[in-house]
Structures are given as structure tokens and as C-alpha cells.
């Protein structure tokens, strides 16, 4: 029988699982949020992932359930597990990608390096943290943030009042995460895959460039990372994957501080934007690896095909027409670049695709990727 994987969420991550599923002869089913989503090619079902009956009916048609995002409620996932349906990553691990406060607490317990942090329930508590951290800090909502939404640099305690009010109105109580404003040289991401039976594989650590809180570009591997940085990043990601019992692909977002420490910022327990380069730049893409991992199949090699890969996101996209309208000019000018379009309508700031260039000269590779991406703007 062909293995059947069910993906909750129909965005571009689910979409990019389709080619390796086809190659491996795996049936991919997607529960999309709405018709016309990115993973429409595989989306036989449309329904609300907040609704237990909808998710149950979907899950009963597949061998294993996995995700395009981390927003599926814990209660639903626990019900699937109670009914014997394999869920990867499981709810016990996924919890730490859903709630930044729980994640900070658990990683601190495991002795992993994180920014100085505290859980604050009032602006007085926030004020006390600010006073002990030079009057500047980063406040984050524990749940529901993405692409920099839910993250705020503050210099006065009242600057998070609206979030405290929203938490109080929510009725469930709750707290905000506050942490030191880290002085970093750059941001890195370490991708790892782990099977339920324990086998684990890491890709080379990469450098991520954020603009306005959104990932704009990824350089793989990170420059000057051979040796210490690569080893530290891989060790941290391995410790997290094993410590939290993560199954599937996980991205660990890291800060490399000005004094050469690595601190964990965020966890994503699914394929991640920082790993899109692996489709064209690694022996095994993160999407193929995720499918292999959640089926508990042997993992693929994670080396690079060329010395360098540069991935540039197409953010927003063309103001007139579609991405495909730009293909004749873009593909003619950059025959070595690979273009990936997500089937989404262009809209300011939206991730509608990405391009990847690979080769052995970083300057040339970066030029090719940036110049190709520029064809999809304006
Ligand atoms: P999201 O969940 O929206 O991706 P993150 O926690 O990753 O939010 O934060 C978004 C960006 O904000 C990070 O990529 C980083 O550039 C910046 N940032 C987050 N936390 C800190 C911090 N403690 N110090 C300095 N910059 C930070």
C-alpha cells in the first residue's frame, strides 16, 4: 500500500511537500483552510482545523498526520493521539512551538542558551524587567505571533498595555514574554530532522536576513561558520530535538551575539523558510526529509550540492499581472536560477514565492538570486 500522509494546513509548505511525495509514491492529503489555497494540487479536503470532527474525519483517511503550521489546538491533537492516530510532531513537542513562554521555560530547564527572559503579567513587572536591563527589552505575545507580529521593542512599561488589556479581556489570564534586546551580529537558522525511532540529520547552519521582521534572504551555509559556529548550532538543535522529542523537520532560529555566543530565538516544528534553499541546494530537501521522517523512514543525506546557495523570498510580488507574466524575461536573464511560485495572489508583504541560486562563488550566486528576484517586483 502507498503510504498516506495527511497535512493540516494548505499553505506553501504543504504545497512544497507535493513534488517529493509524488517522487516517492506517497499519497499526500491536505486539509486546506479554504478553496484556492497554495496546496490546492493536493487539497482534497477543505475544512476548519479548529473543529474536532473535521480533523478526525480527515485524519482517519491517512497513516500519519503532520502540519503546514503550528496553530492546530492541543485538545484536537491529543484526541487524535488518544485514538491511535500517529501525529508528527506530537502534541507534547509541538506545544513548545505554539507557546513562546513554555518554550523559553523548557529550554532554560534543559540548560540551552536563550536570551535573559521573564514571564510578566502586569506593566509593573515589565517595568522591573526594563529597569534591570538598561531600559530596553523585547516583549512578545506567547501565542499566535508570526513574521514579527506579536514582537515589540519597548523602552517604557506602558508600551505593552494594549497587550495586557487584550490578555485580561481574553479571560484566560496569561502573561507576556519579555526578554533582553539581544545585540546580535546576525541571525542564523539550524535545520534538523528526527525520526520517531531516533535517527537524526542536520543540514549546514544558514544565515537568515530579516527585513521588517520578515525573512528576506537566506545564505547557505552561513558565512564563516565552518568549525565552532556550525558545531554549536548543530549541537543546540540536536539537544532540542532530542530533549523535546521532536519528530519531523524542525528549524531553530538563533542569534549570533557580538560576543560570539549562540542564543535560541524561536522554534518551528515543520519545514521552514530558512530551509527552502535545500530544494535546489542539498542532496535531500527539507520537504522530502519531513515526509521520510514522519513515516519513520531512513533519512537522506544533508550535504550541499554546490558550495553556496542563496534563497531570496519574493515578497509582495508584481504590482501588475502575475509572477508567470514575468517568466519570459526573468528565466531568459537567469537560466541558472530556480524560481518557485506558491500560487498565491500578489499582495504587499506577502510571501508569494522564492528564487534560489547555487554555485561556487558566493558573490555571483547572491547576485544571480537577487537580480532574478527583482524581475518579480514593481
Ligand atoms: P516571529 O514569531 O514573529 O517570527 P520572533 O520571535 O522570531 O517572532 O522575532 C522576530 C524578529 O525580531 C527576529 O527575527 C529578530 O530580528 C527580532 N527579535 C526577536 N527577539 C529579539 C531579541 N530578544 N533581541 C533582539 N531582536 C529580537
Q: Please tell me whether 331 is known to bind a ligand.
A: no
Rounded Cα–Cα distance for residues 38 and 16 (Å) = 9
Rounded Cα–Cα distance for residues 172 and 235 (Å) = 37
d(CA 363, ligand 1 centre) in Å: 27
Q: Do 145 and 223 lie in a common domain? A: no
Does any domain span residue 191? yes
In this structure, what CATH number is given to the domain that contains residue 275? 3.30.470.20
Residue 145 confidence (pLDDT): 73
pTM summary value: 0.96
Q: Do 151 and 50 lie in a common domain? A: no
Which positions of the chain have pLDDT values less than 50?
A: none
- Report helix, strand or coil for 279: helix
Residue that has been written with the C-alpha cell 487524535 in this structure? 80
Strand duo 4-8 + 64-67: pairing: parallel
Residue 314 confidence (pLDDT): 98
Q: Do 168 and 214 lie in a common domain? A: no
**Ligand 1 binding pocket includes 210 (Cβ within 6 Å):** yes
Residue 113 confidence (pLDDT): 98
Count of the separate structural domains present in the chain: 3
Residue 174 confidence (pLDDT): 86
Segment 160-194, tens digit of pLDDT: 999 999 888 876 668 999 999 999 999 999 999 99
Q: Do 190 and 249 lie in a common domain? A: yes
- Specify the residue with its C-alpha closest to ligand 1, atom 16: 213
- Report helix, strand or coil for 38: coil
Q: Do 74 and 125 lie in a common domain? A: no
Does any domain span residue 250? yes
Name every residue whose Cβ is closer than 8 Å to that of residue 111 and which is 6 or more positions away in sequence: none
Rounded Cα–Cα distance for residues 218 and 227 (Å) = 20
In this structure, what CATH number is given to the domain that contains residue 32? 3.40.50.20
**Ligand 1 binding pocket includes 148 (Cβ within 6 Å):** yes
Is the CB of residue 290 less than 8 Å from the CB of residue 23?
A: no
| C-alpha cell belonging to residue 97 | 512551538
Does any domain span residue 95? no
Residue 169 confidence (pLDDT): 85
Does any domain span residue 190? yes
Name every residue whose Cβ is closer than 8 Å to that of residue 318 and which is 6 or more positions away in sequence: 325, 326, 346, 376, 377, 378
Q: Do 221 and 202 lie in a common domain? A: yes
Name which of 243, 146, 218, 140 is nearest 182 in CA terms. Answer: 140
Domain containing residue 323:
184-374
d(CA 204, ligand 1 centre) in Å: 22
- Specify the residue with its C-alpha closest to ligand 1, atom 8: 148
Q: Do 317 and 202 lie in a common domain? A: yes
Q: Do 338 and 265 lie in a common domain? A: yes
d(CA 148, ligand 1 centre) in Å: 6
Amino acid at each position: 500500500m502507498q503510504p498516506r500522509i495527511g497535512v493540516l494546513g494548505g499553505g506553501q509548505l504543504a504545497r512544497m511537500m507535493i513534488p517529493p511525495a509524488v517522487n516517492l509514491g506517497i499519497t499526500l492529503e491536505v486539509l486546506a483552510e479554504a478553496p484556492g489555497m497554495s496546496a490546492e494540487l493536493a487539497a482534497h479536503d477543505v475544512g476548519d482545523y479548529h473543529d474536532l470532527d473535521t480533523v478526525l474525519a480527515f485524519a482517519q483517511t491517512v497513516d500519519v498526520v503532520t502540519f503546514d503550521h503550528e496553530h492546530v489546538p492541543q485538545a484536537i491533537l491529543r484526541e487524535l493521539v488518544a485514538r491511535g492516530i500517529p501525529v508528527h510532531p506530537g502534541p507534547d513537542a509541538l506545544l513548545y512551538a505554539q507557546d513562546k513562554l513554555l518554550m523559553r521555560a523548557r529550554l532554560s530547564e534543559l540548560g540551552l542558551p536563550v536570551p535573559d527572559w521573564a514571564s510578566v503579567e502586569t506593566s509593573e513587572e515589565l517595568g522591573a524587567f526594563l529597569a534591570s536591563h538598561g531600559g530596553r527589552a523585547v516583549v512578545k505575545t506567547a501565542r499566535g505571533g508570526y513574521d514579527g507580529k506579536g514582537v515589540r521593542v519597548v523602552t517604557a512599561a506602558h508600551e505593552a498595555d494594549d497587550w495586557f488589556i487584550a490578555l485580561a479581556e481574553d479571560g484566560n489570564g496569561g502573561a507576556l514574554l519579555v526578554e533582553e534586546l539581544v545585540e546580535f551580529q546576525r541571525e542564523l537558522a539550524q535545520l534538523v530532522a528526527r525520526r520517531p525511532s531516533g535517527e537524526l540529520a542536520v543540514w549546514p547552519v544558514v544565515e537568515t536576513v530579516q527585513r521588517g521582521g520578515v525573512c528576506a534572504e537566506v545564505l547557505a551555509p552561513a558565512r564563516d561558520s565552518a568549525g565552532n559556529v556550525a558545531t554549536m548550532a548543530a549541537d543546540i538543535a540536536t539537544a532540542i530535538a532530542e530533549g523535546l522529542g521532536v519528530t519531523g523537520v524542525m528549524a531553530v532560529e538563533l542569534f549570533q551575539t557580538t560576543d560570539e555566543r549562540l542564543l535560541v530565538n524561536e522554534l518551528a516544528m515543520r519545514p521552514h523558510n530558512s530551509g527552502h534553499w535545500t530544494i535546489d541546494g542539498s542532496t535531500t530537501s527539507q520537504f522530502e526529509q519531513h515526509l521520510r521522517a514522519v513515516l519513520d523512514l531512513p533519512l537522506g543525506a544533508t550535504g550541499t550540492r554546490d558550495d553556496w546557495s542563496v534563497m531570496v523570498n519574493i515578497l509582495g510580488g508584481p504590482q501588475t499581472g502575475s509572477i508567470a507574466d514575468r517568466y519570459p524575461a526573468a528565466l531568459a536573464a537567469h537560466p541558472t536560477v530556480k524560481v518557485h511560485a506558491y500560487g498565491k495572489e500578489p499582495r504587499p508583504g506577502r510571501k508569494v514565492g522564492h528564487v534560489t541560486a547555487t554555485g561556487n562563488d558566493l558573490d555571483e550566486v547572491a547576485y544571480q538570486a537577487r537580480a532574478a528576484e527583482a524581475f518579480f517586483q514593481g
